[in-house]
Amino acid sequence: MRYLPLTDHDRRAMLDRIGAGSVDDLFCDVPAETLADAPFDALPEHATEMAVERDLSALATRNRAAGSGPCFLGAGAYRHHVPATVDHLIQRGEFLTAYTPYQPEVSQGTLQTLFEFQTQVALITGMEVANASMYDAATGVAEAAAMASRVTRRKRVLVAGGVHPHYAETTASFLRYTDIKVEVLDPDPVGIADLIGRVNEGHACVVVQNPDFFGRLSDLSALASECHAQGALLVVAVAEPVSLGLVKPPGEMGADIVVGEGHAIGSSLNFGGPGVGLFATRKKFVRHMPGRLAGETEDQDGRRGWVLTLSTREQHIRREKATSNICTNSGLVALAWTIHMSLLGEAGFSRLARLNHGKAVELVGLLEGVSGLEVVTPTFFNEVLVRLPGHDAAAVVETLAGKGILAGVPLSRFWPTFPELADGLLVCATETTEREDMEALARALTEALA
């Protein structure tokens, strides 16, 4: 068996050294009635590399790769081109097969990278500090809400109707059995909800998203001021991190905690996971933060180096009083993020963002010419909500999928019980979207809506 180095000869010699008659003897503490004496017969036997590859490749071909035709899917997962360099570097065994950097003397590679990651996240969000990552944005928002409650000592969280439904559901679920009450507002596709009028001195925080789930960009400055006047924090989620190359960052609008989904930079879509949660805040809140932090220090010879720090917030020290139960973060996805960001750099990141926005403007221009279709989102980055009045958007998506076009994400997938959203479709363009893809979509939609 190719992953097992011991031979029967080794096993015999080792048992002799131990003074045991057989491997089974080593399991003597296990109740005999629960111990199987042969492999579980309902499961297959071992397989060669060739056989596994053949089998899994066959399963893979039962999927349609998003890039095999025009693709306009977003809704929190954005398809970008990832340079070959990224995937090559993250597969270096020294990165891929290391553990969490508990021994800093032999983990400076991971630690320095995390420090670079934290810096890049802080820079693009316009915040003072960032942690070494969360599992994803959904869990990051949940942790942000809990953190806001710790900071303000308040027990109510307001989640706006423009927040990704998965982020909202994860937050409600995460806090369901705590003393924090989460109020999730109904979906707000046209951005009319009066959040400013709702915030009061009972709130720990208000959670919004920018651009919101329906693609809309908003200036959050007035909301931030009102939150602060009421003693609440403003938590801003960013589902598309590329937007931060072009759009005014949440930090400049008064956000107190910024949570982002980072997978769009550095990683493939991977059917939505693993992701990487970006988590940034103000310096004064850092001791309330969840998650791992890399910090700068010196070694005993006076040379600069990095360690995991402020671990007194964490579960392995504080146990039931920890700021979070989180242990692992999303290290390798964070590494991919950092390498991709480093390749882009200031000029490339800004250009990528302009390209995405330009493609979306181009797409919206074409869609505005499709009769029977209405573009809802007035200001956007690379994604908009369109309505197909009189049509079930999910059915239109199925029809277009039959023609090889992944047209967008129907809102009914998230809100099947809101009939007024049944004609809503989220459509997104990125740098990977070509003019001919957009024309194909416009043509197919024109036919489907006729």
Partner 1 sequence: MTERGTPTLTGNRGLQIEEPLIFEQGHPDKTGVDLPDPPDLPDRLGGLARTGPIGLSGLSEPEVVRHYTRLSQKNYAIDAGFYPLGSCTMKHNPRLNERMARLPGFADLHPFQPQSTVQGALAVMHRLSEWLLGLTGMEAVALSPAAGAHGELCGMQAIRAALDARGAGDRRVVLVPDSAHGTNPATAALCGFKVRGVPGDDRGRVDLAAFREALDDQVAGVMLTNPNTCGLFENDIMALATAVHEAGAYFYLDGANFNALVGRVKIADLGVDAMHINLHKTFSTPHGGGGPGAGPTVLSPALAPFAPLPHVVAEADGGYRLIERVEGDMQPFGRMKGFHGQFGVFVRALSYLMSMGADGLRQASGDAVLNANYLLARLSETLTPSFEGPCMHEALFDDRFLKGTGVSTLDFAKAMIDEGVHPMTMYFPLVVHGAMLMEPTETESRDSLDAFCDAVLALADKARSGDAAFFTEAPRHTPRRRLDETRAARHPVLRWEPPEPAKAAE
Judged by CB under 8 A, the chain residues 178 through 207 that form the site for partner 1 are 178-179
Question: Of the listed pieces 100-108, 147-155, 228-236, 366-374, which binds partner 1 according to CB under 8 A?
Answer: 100-108
Shortest CB 197 distance to partner 1, Å:
22
Contact pattern for partner 1 over residues 312 through 331, marking x by CB under 8 A: x-xxxxxxxxx-xxxxxxxx
Q: Are 354 and 347 in contact (CB under 8 A)?
A: no
Counting contacts by CB under 8 A, is residue 153 touching partner 1? no
Determine the distance from the C-alpha atom of residue 254 to the mean position of all C-alpha atoms in its chain, rounded to a whole number.
23
Q: Work out the angle at residue 17's Cα, subtended by the Cα atoms of residues 11 and 18, and round it to the nearest 5 degrees.
A: 90
Counting contacts by CB under 8 A, is residue 132 touching partner 1? yes
Give exposure, 157-169, as e/b (b: 16+ Cβ within 10 Å).
bbbbbbbbbbbbb
Residue list 57-96, contact with partner 1 (CB under 8 A): 57, 59-68, 71, 73, 75-77, 79, 83, 85, 87-96
Q: In whole angstroms, what is the distance from residue 235 CA to residue 85 CA?
A: 34
Residue list 228-267, contact with partner 1 (CB under 8 A): 244-249, 252, 261
Angle between helix axes 108-125 and 331-367 (nearest 10 degrees) is 30
Residue list 353-412, contact with partner 1 (CB under 8 A): 354-355, 357-362, 364-365, 378-381, 397-398, 401, 406, 409
Residue with Cβ nearer partner 1 (51 or 200)? 51
Q: Are 250 and 258 in contact (CB under 8 A)?
A: yes
Counting contacts by CB under 8 A, is residue 118 touching partner 1? yes
| CA-closest candidate to residue 412, choices 397, 399, 400 | 397
Written as six digits, the tokens of 41 are 């017969």
Instruction: State how beta strands 383-387 and 374-375 pair.
Output: antiparallel
Shortest CB 342 distance to partner 1, Å:
5
Residue list 280-299, contact with partner 1 (CB under 8 A): 286, 292-299
Residue with Cβ nearer partner 1 (98 or 230)? 98
Choice from 192, 194, 347, 450 touching partner 1 (CB under 8 A): 347
Counting contacts by CB under 8 A, is residue 25 touching partner 1? yes
Counting contacts by CB under 8 A, is residue 436 touching partner 1? no
Counting contacts by CB under 8 A, is residue 446 touching partner 1? no
370 class by beta-carbon count within 10 Å (0-12 exposed, 13-18 middle, 19+ buried): buried
Give the H/E segment covering residue 130: strand 129-130
Shortest CB 38 distance to partner 1, Å:
8
